[in-house]
Structure 1
Amino acid sequence: MTTPMTITLWDFTWYTRPALFHDLDAAFREAVDRGYDTVRICAMPFLLFRSGLDTSALRFDGLGGEFGQRTRWYDVPPSPPVDGRARLLDLFRAARAHGCRIIVSSWEIQQSPSFGVDDAWFRALQAVPPEQRALALAEAHADLIDCVRAEGLDDVVAFVELHNEVQFSGVPNDRDQLEAGIARFKQRQPDVLATVNYAHVPIASMRTLPRNMEVAVFHPYVYGVLRQLVDEFALRDTTRPYPQERAFAELLRDDAPKLEDWRPPDSWKTAATVVPHREIYTHDWCDPGKWDRWLYDRYGEHRRAMRETLDAWLDVAADFAYGRGIPLVFGEGWVGYTPLHASFEEGPVGAEICEHAVRRSREIGAWGTIVCSNAAPHHPMWADVALQTRLNAAFREPR
């Protein structure tokens, strides 16, 4: 547990885009060359082990047509069939071959099923009563560990997260239910560390986190100037009108349609993802230069507050982990959710934030951290080899 983890976020993309990850050896080799030794994934445990569905020929695609194809994580092309369990074991074998670990998580009650070609996965999850979901995930993860152990690959597991960002998922953020889920998993897999993770750092409610979590995992997205953009254009507040004319002037491409004319096909997929229609529309049709200039023009007003917020969150997280006597991991962060082809977080300001966050992660004794959530093969930032190599090396420096 003492060896620092440098984490790259492969989320659900390692299976939703099999063409991009077709050569797992090459993907891990590129990760190691950039200084990573850990990947964090949605391992689709419920689908593979508790849904009752045939997973021998899984197929994935996007939200329908061109909708979402310029939006980060949603630019999924139609895929050929893939055997889910075989693919999972191939991932573990490749990780071991390259000396890497895997953080096993699930995005399944948040968004992963929206990439399926039909609604069977989504319906199977929705059939589980909310108060039973933590237990169902615990059993699914325990089944997954049994599966990889049967192949002699369980030592690749760094730890298990029952689910991603429980405050913003379909898993109730209820301490008793989460504790019961962790306890159920530990009954079956006592030698594997288990936890849940949290968006941001919930500094006002740290006392409510599960008492039996074995790793403190947080996602410190500070937003700041990005929050101003999200709020002013009502990207997530559907109770307010979308400021269409202002968006045309300040954010969107000259050839962008109106919001009302850019809709996904009418299907279950809309209910299966947490990202609102208007946010996907804005990401799909933004002019990346306009988007980045909007943030740069206003960043000076937010710089100090963003730095202070990030430092406060990291310090609170470290204090919480120290008080509990458990390791601390930052599995995602640092600014927030930006369009696929925008580069604010990859540019000089974002790089400065990443560098500060990685240095502070090392100073406070975190077990693992990321360069940035966008530093992964399915994001343009993957091309910045120098930044990733330098920050991963800095995190590993003797403490």
Structure 2
Amino acid sequence: MSERYLGTPVMPTEPNSALTGPVPPHLPERLGVCLWDFSWYTRAGAGEPYADIEHAMAETVARGYNAVRICAAPLLLAGGLGLDALAEALPIEGLGAAPGGGFYGQRTRWYDSPGGYTIDVRARFFSLLETARKHDVVVILASWEYQQSTAFAADPSWFEAIDQVPLNRRHEVLADAFGRLLDDIRAAGLIESIAFTELHNEVDFSILPPVDAPEDADAPVNGIAAMAKLRARHPDQLITVSYGKPPHLAMHRVAPELEVAQFHVYSYGVLDALQRRIDIRSEGTEGFPNAELRALLRSDAPSVAEYGRPAEWKLKATVITDQMIYGYDWIDAQAWDAWLEQHYGAHHEVMQREIESRVIAIAEWARWRSVPAVVGEGWIGYTPRDGNFEEGPIGRALAEHGIRTALDNGVWGVVACSNAAPHHPLWSDIAWQQRMNTLFLEG
């Protein structure tokens, strides 16, 4: 009796753990990525997490990471936009002082920068690279400048300079800036410390045109051509962009010219349900905050009118809204977490499945293109600084599921969690980070 024929599966029945694409031989076989983002210069005041780069790097290595991903501020450091003096003496203010005391963003994740100091970003950048080399850490270069970096400065001239670049020229200006910056890195003998370069972080959520926008007389260099231009200048470097939400259901729409499939995997699930309920991510909502948000606020929360809002230019310089700043600054983090924990059960299977399927989609696209894949950010989403849902048992379990899926499917690099870095509370959970990095790096 013959076995019943049930067809031939399109996908392999077992995952392929071999790397999706070749990696330059001088780079690590796997990357345990720590997301330092722009905080290495916006949280560098006395007593802050990045005040001492050597200390921050040593702590990073002690937790098992071998790569850091940063905003290299290329437009500030090498953009040719007349910002050289500012790059050597950048005043950091954060989002500015709030009228009732404290500062805007004080409990908003990534934005809790009190400022109050001036920093030589250029000198600090090369100090970071030298320290990384000393500790056998590689650096992923990106830019957050068209998303938020400039909002932390006390001087609006950085934002104004990059904002004056016509929208359809911005990819080219970024490529030229990174070209000059990589020239300087090479001249300093530090080029082998660079894992790869992203023209920009999350091009789909930044003030940039589509990477594959049509070229014409007004925009002769789109994102694809800009990457090619940078690649021609530095042919030994991997050049790419990153996507905040790649089209997982239609990955053929991603520009095939990416040399690293650096995509982010967030499964908002129950978090999205809460955010929609309290309308925290919108702007200009009449009657904000609504009753559901008011029920979650701290007892000492001022009214929206009393709290005010950051300077208008700072809001233009970032993708977050004044409603988000007010909400995250004044949410009761325990009440926030309690709501998520109470309602998580209805979202558990979908969130687990979504993380798994998105990682696999990224890996399969990368394998099809024969390029290395990296999950540079993940896993749940944007939460208040003091919220502990993603850092707690539920969030850690989802993160581990994503990391194991990445390992099983040949992903080159992965974050333990976007919230696992010196400027986040999760940094204190040393054992978990060591365990996740050991799992991924040692297989």
Cα distance in 1 for residues equivalent to 2:311 and 2:142: 30
How many Å separate the matches in 2 of 1:138 and 1:79?
32
Structure 2, gaps ≥5 residues long: 1-22, 98-102, 214-221
In 1: Cα distance, 2:383 partner to 2:311 partner: 25
How many residues align structurally? 397
Q: 1:52 aligns with which of 82, 87, 106?
A: 82
Task: Report what 1:199 is aligned to.
Answer: 244
Deviation at 1:239, TM superposition (A): 6.0
CA contact (8 A) 1:248 1:254 kept: no
- CA change 1:180–1:378 in 2 (3 A) is same
TM-score between the two structures when normalised by the length of structure 1: 0.97
How far the C-alpha of 1:240 sits from its partner, in A, is 4.3
Partner of 1:18: 44
**Which consecutive residues of structure 1, in runs of 5 or more, have no partner in the other structure?**
none
Indicate if the aligned counterparts of 2:74 and 2:143 stay in contact, CA closer than 8 A: yes
Q: What is the letter of the counterpart of residue 254 of structure 2?
A: L
Instruction: Output one character per residue of 1:305-346: Cα deviation in whole Å (capped at 9) or x when no partner.
Output: 111111111111111001001000000010000001110011
Correspondent of 1:108 among 145, 150, 160 = 145
Equivalent residue number for residue 335 of structure 2? 290
Please say if residues 263 and 376 of structure 2, whose CA atoms lie closer than 8 Å, have aligned partners that are also in contact. Answer: yes
SS at structure 1 position matched to 2:379: coil
Q: How does 1:1-399 map to 2 (within 5 A)?
A: 1=23, 3-19=29-45, 20=48, 21-50=50-79, 51-53=81-83, 54=85, 55-65=87-97, 66-176=103-213, 177-238=222-283, 240-241=285-286, 242-249=288-295, 251-398=296-443
Determine if contact 2:93/2:117 at 8 Å carries over to the other structure.
no
- Give the 3 Å change call, closer, same or farther, for CA 265–327 of structure 1 in structure 2: closer
Task: Report the Cα distance in structure 1 between the residues aligned to 2:300 and 2:96, rounded to whole angstroms.
Answer: 20
Ranges of 4+ aligned residues in structure 1 off by more than 6 Å? none
CA contact (8 A) 2:147 2:317 kept: yes
Q: Decide which structure has the larger Cα Rg and report it.
A: 2
- In 2, Cα distance between equivalents of 1:281 and 1:355: 32
**Cα pair distance change 1:123/1:205, threshold 3 Å:** farther
Letter in 2 for 1:315: I
Instruction: Give how far 1:33 is off.
Output: 0.7
Letter in 1 for 2:173: A
Do the aligned residues in 2 keep the contact of 1:159 with 1:194 (CA within 8 Å)? yes
Moved more, 135-144 or 202-211: 202-211
Secondary structure in 2 aligned to 1:375? coil
- Cα displacement (A) at 1:244: 2.9
Bigger helix share: 1
Equivalent position SS for 1:175 = coil
> Residue 396 and residue 346 in structure 1: after superposition, are their counterparts in 2 closer, same or farther (change >3 A)?
same
